[in-house]
Amino acid sequence: MTTEAMPGSRERLLGAAATLTYRDGVNIGVDALCKAAGVSKRSMYKLFESKGDLLAASLEERASAYMAALLPEADDNRSPRERILHVFERAEAQAGTPDFQGCRYLVVQIELKDPCHPAVRVAHRVKDNLTAFFRAEAEQGGASGPDLLARQLILVFDGASARAGIKADTRAGLIAPTVAALLDAANIR
Amino acid sequence: MTTEAMPGSRERLLGAAATLTYRDGVNIGVDALCKAAGVSKRSMYKLFESKGDLLAASLEERASAYMAALLPEADDNRSPRERILHVFERAEAQAGTPDFQGCRYLVVQIELKDPCHPAVRVAHRVKDNLTAFFRAEAEQGGASGPDLLARQLILVFDGASARAGIKADTRAGLIAPTVAALLDAANIR
């Protein structure tokens, strides 16, 4: 039996991995993932080398949609300041959903703790891409220190996501003035 | 046998819980904790209702030392701005240690995901106390919005800790200018 013979199994496993590891943590067992996906363990191991590879693939599969949901259109004619604020507005809206527990690309790195884990590598790259967006907009906007500003923005992004995920803060009235203060300090008007 | 009959067991269990859950995550098993502590499971369950209670007690036990390591002396005659920056300098020094994986009082909340878990309650309270310190200094320093500034500072504290813990950023040259920008925006000189 080739992997091509079970096209639905792969998608169901990716969906179960994304949903259950986010809800319950990365230590969810292979049995629970296979049960939720309606796929045998034998079939799972034909499709993925390990649970780690399945998790990495599920993060990779969602990466494009994650970035598309956050970033503005490439040619929306808004200023870099507005385009940066757009990302935080979108993130704030996502954090308002009932099952939000923080950005999955941050949480998985905190839980796995191993920089060499395949899922951590995927998550790290996704966040690097978001930092690169901030860096490009900072430069475009003439920031006095685009590298520093990009690092500050991803720091605020991850901090806000983590704190909203653990229900430590509602984010309301917090993120916009924080980002504005940093943009002001970098002379991005 | 009463709990008083094994004074060393409790301390060893608290130490093992603190060390191993921080290093490996909260899903570390009771067997591993008991083995590391050199205590039987039977004895453990005489001392603690559950693994969750053991973890909560280990976080509680370290809370005073955690705060003392971060906060300045009560009467050090420095300005609120300097006293706030002191906390971030101490946190930055801690983040430079090889086994640093983020603030344990943040990580445990992200991993457990349950606001009602006894360990999450302890961790939440510890971070609330740190926020209260920021709030009091912000007010003392005449911040234009002390509530907002305190929320911004704990957001930066947690974001920096999370990103240093996953080795996403070294923090070098990042935290001081970020905190300074927020203090400036709140008119704390």
Spell out a b/e string for A124-161, using b for 16 or more CB atoms within 10 Å of the CB, else e. Answer: bebbeebbebbbebbeebebeebebbbbbbbbbbbbbb
Percent of chain A's residues with pLDDT above 70: 96
The predicted pLDDT at position B169 comes to 84
| Summary mean pLDDT of chain A | 94
Instruction: Quickly list DSSP for chain A.
Output: --GGG-HHHHHHHHHHHHHHHHHH-TT--HHHHHHHHT--HHHHHHH-SSHHHHHHHHHHHHHHHHHHHHSPPTT----HHHHHHHHHHHHHHHHTSTT--S-HHHHHHHHH--TTSHHHHHHHHHHHHHHHHHHHHHHHTT-S-HHHHHHHHHHHHHHHHHHHHTTS---TTTHHHHHHHHHHHTT--
Could B160 and A155 be called an inter-chain contact, meaning their C-beta atoms sit closer than 8 Å?
Answer: yes
The predicted pLDDT at position A3 comes to 47
Which residue of chain A is at minimal alpha-carbon distance from B183?
A181
| pTM for this entry | 0.94
SS3 readout for A48-72: CCCHHHHHHHHHHHHHHHHHHHHCC
The predicted pLDDT at position B142 comes to 96
The predicted pLDDT at position A6 comes to 65
Which residue of chain A is at minimal alpha-carbon distance from B28?
A27
pLDDT in tens, chain B (189 residues): 444 446 799 999 999 999 999 999 999 999 999 999 999 999 999 999 999 999 999 999 999 999 999 999 998 999 999 999 999 999 999 998 989 999 999 999 999 999 999 999 999 999 999 999 999 999 999 999 999 999 999 999 999 999 999 999 877 899 999 999 999 999 998
Nearest to B174 among A111, A155, A157 (CB): A155
Asked if the C-beta of B173 comes within 8 angstroms of chain A's C-beta atoms, the answer is yes
Residue A67 burial (CB < 10 Å; 0-12/13-18/19+)? middle
Nearest to B163 among A148, A158, A160 (CB): A158
pLDDT in tens, chain A (189 residues): 444 446 799 999 999 999 999 999 999 999 999 999 999 999 999 999 999 999 999 999 999 999 999 999 998 999 999 999 999 999 999 998 989 999 999 999 999 999 999 999 999 999 999 999 999 999 999 999 999 999 999 999 999 999 999 999 877 899 999 999 999 999 998
Nearest to A17 by CA among A48, A130, B108: A48
SS3 readout for A124-142: HHHHHHHHHHHHHHHHHCC
With beta carbons less than 8 A apart as the criterion, state whether B165 and B101 touch: yes
Which B positions 115-154 lie with beta carbon below 8 A of chain A? Answer: 115, 120, 124, 127, 148, 151-152, 154
Left (φ > 0), alpha (ψ -120 to 50) or beta: where does A168 sit? alpha
Q: Give contacts of A177 with chain B, Cβ < 8 Å.
A: 148, 152, 185
Amino acid at site B70: L
The predicted pLDDT at position B85 comes to 97
Residue A14 burial (CB < 10 Å; 0-12/13-18/19+)? buried
The predicted pLDDT at position A75 comes to 87
Phi/psi of residue B157, each to 5°?
A: -60, -50
Which residue's entry shows tokens 């995920």? A165
Could A158 and B156 be called an inter-chain contact, meaning their C-beta atoms sit closer than 8 Å?
Answer: no
**A93-102: which pairs have CB atoms within 8 A and are 24 or more residues apart?**
A94/A69, A95/A160, A95/A161, A95/A164, A95/A165, A95/A171, A99/A23, A100/A164, A100/A165, A101/A22, A101/A23, A101/A165, A101/A166, A101/B110, A101/B113, A102/A161, A102/A162, A102/A164, A102/A165, A102/A166, A102/B110
Amino acid at site A128: D
Taking only the tens place, the pLDDT of each residue in A64-85 is 999 999 999 998 999 999 999 9
Nearest to B124 among A101, A111, A168 (CB): A168
Evaluated on CA atoms A155, A157, A158, A162, the torsion sign reads positive
Could A169 and B151 be called an inter-chain contact, meaning their C-beta atoms sit closer than 8 Å?
Answer: yes
The predicted pLDDT at position B6 comes to 65
Q: How many CB atoms lie within 10 A of CB B189?
A: 10
Nearest to B159 among A101, A162, A165 (CB): A162
The predicted pLDDT at position A156 comes to 97
Evaluated on CA atoms A144, A149, A151, A152, the torsion sign reads positive
With beta carbons less than 8 A apart as the criterion, state whether B47 and B13 touch: yes
H/E stretch holding B32 reads helix B30-37
